[in-house]
């Protein structure tokens, strides 16, 4: 069944079409939610809330661009709204002069994707959100600032701090594994 058929069935309120949309897109969207949430239970809640929004707003899909991309955007915004209070409650500092850390290819090549995701999940929540939005989703710092209601410089500094945090973790792994 094509995306267009699924969307039209969902607009008509047919549960079998909604179930098919959920079945088709929930694995990828759950992975996305895990990147933004503190734990699996929170990610499941965000996924559920996100799909409720998808089905409530499906009649606004314009059939331009990817349906999956449209769902992804809703999921990201749902996860961000879920974290908004947390973000606003943390004090942030600007790190305008922080250098970009280099990456040691030998260390990262020995890590699995799951190991890297675990490292990213260890980031403090504000760093994690900005890192995912910038490095994984490809949003600009200006877009991130608008989404999170923060300054563009804050987005940049949070991203640099996230990279620094990850670099320190990678250095520790390098030291532990390679005795360097």
For residue 81, the domain's CATH number is 1.10.1740.10
- Residue 91: inside a domain: no
Q: What pLDDT is stored for residue 180 in this prediction?
A: 58
The Cα 121–Cα 119 span in angstroms is: 5
CATH of the domain at 124: 1.10.10.10
pLDDT of 11 reads 94
Residue 97 has a pLDDT of 38
pLDDT value of position 178: 63
How open is the CA angle 158-83-37, to the nearest 5 degrees?
A: 90
Residues 81 and 8 in one domain: yes
Give domain status of residue 9, yes or no: yes
Which of 13, 75, 71 is CA-nearest to residue 43?
75
> Does residue 142 belong to any structural domain of this protein?
yes
What pLDDT does 173 receive? 79
Quote the number of domains for the chain. Answer: 2
Mean per-residue pLDDT pooled into runs of 10, the chain (180 residues): 93 95 95 87 93 95 93 92 54 38 44 75 86 90 89 92 89 73
Range of the domain at 132: 105-178
pLDDT at site 161: 92
Residue 25: what pLDDT? 96
Q: How far apart are CA 50 and CA 19, in angstroms?
A: 14
CA distance 161 to 77: 23
Distance CA 89, CA 101 (A): 28
């Amino acid at each position: 069944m094509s995306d267009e058929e699924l969307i039209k069935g969902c607009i008509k309120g047919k549960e079998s079409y909604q179930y098919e949309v959920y079945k088709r897109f929930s694995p990828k969207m759950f992975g996305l939610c895990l990147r933004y949430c503190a734990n699996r239970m929170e990610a499941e809640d965000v996924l559920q809330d996100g799909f409720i929004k998808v089905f409530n707003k499906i009649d606004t899909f314009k059939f331009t661009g990817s349906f999956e991309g449209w769902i992804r955007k809703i999921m990201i915004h749902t996860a961000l709204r879920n974290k908004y209070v947390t973000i606003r409650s943390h004090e942030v500092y600007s790190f305008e002069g922080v250098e970009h850390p280099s990456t040691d290819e030998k260390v990262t090549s020995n890590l699995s994707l799951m190991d890297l995701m675990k490292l990213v999940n260890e980031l403090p929540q504000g760093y994690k959100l900005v890192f995912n939005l910038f490095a994984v989703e490809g949003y600009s710092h200006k877009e991130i600032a608008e989404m999170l209601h923060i300054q563009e410089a804050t987005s940049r500094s949070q991203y640099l701090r996230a990279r620094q945090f990850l670099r320190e973790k990678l250095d520790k792994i390098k030291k532990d594994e390679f005795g360097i």
